[in-house]
């Protein structure tokens, strides 16, 4: 499942990041890598963009960009 499939407030662990585009590579530069715990913080009223929190920072991204980040929901 990807990050955009989470519910607001739900936490998950990053399993895989398909970073082929510069925007996705920037996420890796910010520290979004396999093993990192993320939380879906907010979703815009029309559903795009979304905001995720990880490692003490909040990052906003489009759903297209979020689709490249595979996560595993935490209990």
Q: Domain residue spans in the chain?
A: 3-73
pTM for the predicted model, two decimal places: 0.85
Among the four given CATH numbers 2.60.120.260, 3.40.640.10, 2.30.30.90, 2.40.160.40, the one describing domain 3-73: 2.30.30.90
* Predicted pLDDT of residue 68: 87
List, for residues 10-57, the tens digit of each pLDDT value: 999 999 988 777 877 888 888 899 999 999 999 999 989 999 999 999
Token pair 């907010």 is at which residue? 42
Residue 55 and residue 36 in contact, taking contact as beta carbons nearer than 8 Å: yes
Q: Residue 56: what pLDDT?
A: 93
**Which two tokens mark 29?**
């530069």
CA distance 25 to 46: 26
């Amino acid at each position: 499942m990807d990050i955009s499939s989470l519910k607001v407030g739900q936490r998950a662990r990053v399993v895989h990041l398909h970073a082929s585009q510069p925007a996705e590579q920037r996420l890796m530069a910010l520290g979004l890598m396999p093993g990192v715990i993320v939380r879906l913080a907010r979703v815009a009223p029309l559903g795009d963009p979304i905001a995720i929190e990880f490692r003490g920072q909040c990052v906003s991204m489009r759903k297209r960009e979020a689709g490249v980040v595979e996560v595993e929901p935490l209990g």
